[in-house]
Amino acid sequence: MSPPLQALESVSAILLIPSLSAVLLAVLPGYWIAARLNVAASLITFLFALQLLGQRPAPGGYRFVDDLNIVFVVLATFVGFTTSAFSASYIAHELESGRLTRRYLRFYHAMYQTLMFAMKPGAGRQQYRPDVGCHRIGDANDRGDGRHLSHA
């Protein structure tokens, strides 16, 4: 598999894993299996994000991942993984004390993965201006057609 294709698959996985996990976690009734799936989904997403450090996907369509996006995606997935691991024991305590019901626990895990999906700004989206297109963002004086607005 070519490196740009592998990087593109990493981007797809970074977006698909939290999405699919959120749906699955919304219906899983057991705490331990849901907590482990939450941690596993976060870890796998983080590992795919780490692959972006070695190879950036080629721009195309509405997708443009630059070096700064990669830093933020890796950071967000790392924080997501560590938080999911540390929250598992905390949530177990809340469940045992009766402050959290199993229904809300499913909601928590599903929303956790939904948040992990939403925190990937550079993985599948970029800044877009219809008058310029997807290839660059100009400055405030740039009309998008190569001409600049006059200040007079």
Q: What is the mean pLDDT of residues 100-115?
A: 85
Helix (H) or strand (E) holding 133: none
Residue 148 has pLDDT above 80, yes or no: no
**What integer pLDDT is reported at residue 109 of this predicted model?**
87
Give me the percent of the chain exceeding a pLDDT of 90. 28
Which pTM does this prediction carry? 0.71
Helix (H) or strand (E) holding 98: none
Query: Could you tell me how many helices (H) and strands (E) the chain has, helices first?
Result: 5, 0
b (16+ CB within 10 A) / e for 42-52: bbbbbebbebb
Residue 130 has pLDDT above 50, yes or no: no
Of residues 50 and 89, which shows the higher confidence score? 50
| Token code pair at residue 15 | 């977006």
**Helices 102-118 and 67-97 sit at what angle, rounded to 10 degrees?**
170
Q: What is the mean pLDDT of residues 53-60?
A: 76
- Mean model confidence pLDDT for the chain: 77
**What integer pLDDT is reported at residue 77 of this predicted model?**
93
Of residues 89 and 43, which shows the higher confidence score? 43
**What integer pLDDT is reported at residue 5 of this predicted model?**
52
